[in-house]
Amino acid sequence: MGCADQHCHPAVNEEKLLPSTLAAVTEAGEAFIERGWEMEVVVCDNNSTDRTGEIAEAAGARVVFEKHNQISRARNAVGNVAKGEWIIFIDADSKPSKALFEATAVAMGKRGIIRGGTTVKFEGGE
């Protein structure tokens, strides 16, 4: 299966957290690259007033701008420019693991699956 994969990040003023998220996506994305799949990262700058878009571009992400602060509009903005067969939406303050993307790749290989979700674990909390 040679599918391309997009990771779409809605981001509003995330200059502090976005670098670690993009680094985690790149590392986790090895699960797709090892399968010979293409991967593209698209970040929606959702009307930020900080350096969010600049940071995303410097990390190699494609950036689209959405002026209305609404999650559905941000996700639609990246979905409209994404090139791949699959789209994975990740918030700008998240850190997906390679194990998560490996499990996702296995699920993507099963043609009966059309969507999925994951359990969220908060860092630093009790």
Q: Is residue 13 situated within a structural domain?
A: yes
- Mean pLDDT of residues grouped by 10 in the chain (126 residues)? 48 87 96 94 92 94 91 91 88 90 90 69 63
Q: Is residue 48 situated within a structural domain?
A: yes
Residue 86's pLDDT is 86
Q: Is residue 126 situated within a structural domain?
A: no
Residue 4's pLDDT is 46
Q: Is residue 56 situated within a structural domain?
A: yes
CA atoms within 13 A on the CB side of 113: 12
Q: Is residue 28 situated within a structural domain?
A: yes
Q: Is residue 115 situated within a structural domain?
A: no
Number of folded domains that form the chain: 1
- In terms of residue numbers, what domain contains 15? 4-108
Residue 2's pLDDT is 36
* CATH code of residue 17: 3.90.550.10
Residue 85's pLDDT is 85
Q: What is the pTM of this model?
A: 0.79
pLDDT in tens, 70-89: 888 999 999 999 988 888 98
